[in-house]
Amino acid sequence: MSSGSPLSGNRVDILGVSVSTGTIRDAVATVEHWIGQRTRRYICITGAHGIMESRSDPQFRNILNSADMVTPDGQPLVWFSRLLRNTPTERLYGPDLMRAVTAVSGPRGYRHFYYGGAPGVAEQLQQAMLRQHPTLEVVGTHCPPFRELTPEEDDAVVARINAARPDIVWVGLSTPKQELWMARHRERIEAPVMVGVGAAFDFLAGTKRQAPKWMQKTGLEWLFRLLSEPRRLGRRYAYIVPGFALLALNELIARAVPPGLSHIGRRSPGT
């Protein structure tokens, strides 16, 4: 992130991914700062799933580390950030960030574009947001096909978004597809801010239920989503939850050992 933005430099390394620390107020102020600068930025919202994906995919890890902000989506990342760096850190969840930015957009005239979601979801999202914020400017929606776009189709999408002149493009695709799309299009999309929010389109449009607040705050949202979509998410969470927990524990233990004492417990050569 460039100097001068409210979250500039506030990052912590979580298993190889540089994750931003701070509050949702900081994040909204940063988005507004970037809109004022009119430079091209993208924000990744990642949880344990994204961290684990980055462990086996160097390209995806580079995309996350090249993002202008990587917010912690999930209490495990928040807890881990607080343990590694004693700073105020909040969960910067996609739906919450989208709500917060949307709330300030009407009075300030920020223009929004919704890219992604299943057929019809972006339009439902637009209607839901306008019911809550009648002065909000939603200048376009687009649901791409699940397959890879042809170069001609991609050019048409870029032209459509740029013609609408949005300040913020919300990208509601799955991880890592949405992050890859933003990284590939940063130099082509003229909007100053792109944000990958994944399932936030469904949650805010009302097509899927969010976990209760108590499950979100206690780090059990993954369980709610698993029970809601066992076939789609079963294999994912079977390795994400124990894998992240084990790696995080090992990292905390390694950082707790004072420099120069890592040899304790090892046998000396020749003994």
For residue 73, tell me if it sits in a domain: yes
Number of domains observed in the structure of the chain: 1
Torsion of CA 43, 188, 183, 19, to 10 degrees: -20
What's residue 263's pLDDT?
47
Which position has the token pair 């102020």?
A: 29
Nearest one of 99, 77, 100 to 21, comparing CA atoms: 77
pLDDT at 9: 54
Strands 41-46 and 11-14: unpaired
Domain of 127, CATH number, reads 3.40.50.2300
Distance of alpha carbon 104 from alpha carbon 101, whole angstroms: 6
Look at residue 134 and tell me if it is in a domain: yes
| 81 within domain boundaries | yes
Range of the domain at 104: 11-212
- Which backbone phi and psi does 13 adopt, to 5 degrees? -80, 120
Instruction: Work out whether the CA dihedral 250, 21, 206, 174 comes out positive or negative.
Output: negative
244: in domain: no
Q: Where are the alpha helices (DSSP H) in 67-112?
A: 75-84, 94-108
Residue 106: closest CA among 138, 78, 81, 153:
138
Is 115 strand, coil or helix?
Answer: strand
Is residue 67 a part of any domain in this protein?
Answer: yes
Low-confidence residues in the chain, pLDDT < 50: 1-4, 8, 261-271
Task: Confirm whether 254 is domain-assigned.
Answer: no
**Terminal-residue alpha carbon distance, the chain:** 51
pLDDT of residue 270: 47
The alpha carbon torsion through 100, 104, 105, 107 (nearest 10 deg) reads 160
What pLDDT shows up at residue 29?
95
pLDDT at 219: 77
Backbone angles phi, psi at 203, to 5 degrees: -65, -45
Task: Please say whether the dihedral angle defined by the alpha carbons of residues 151, 157, 163 and 165, taken in this order, is positive or negative.
Answer: negative
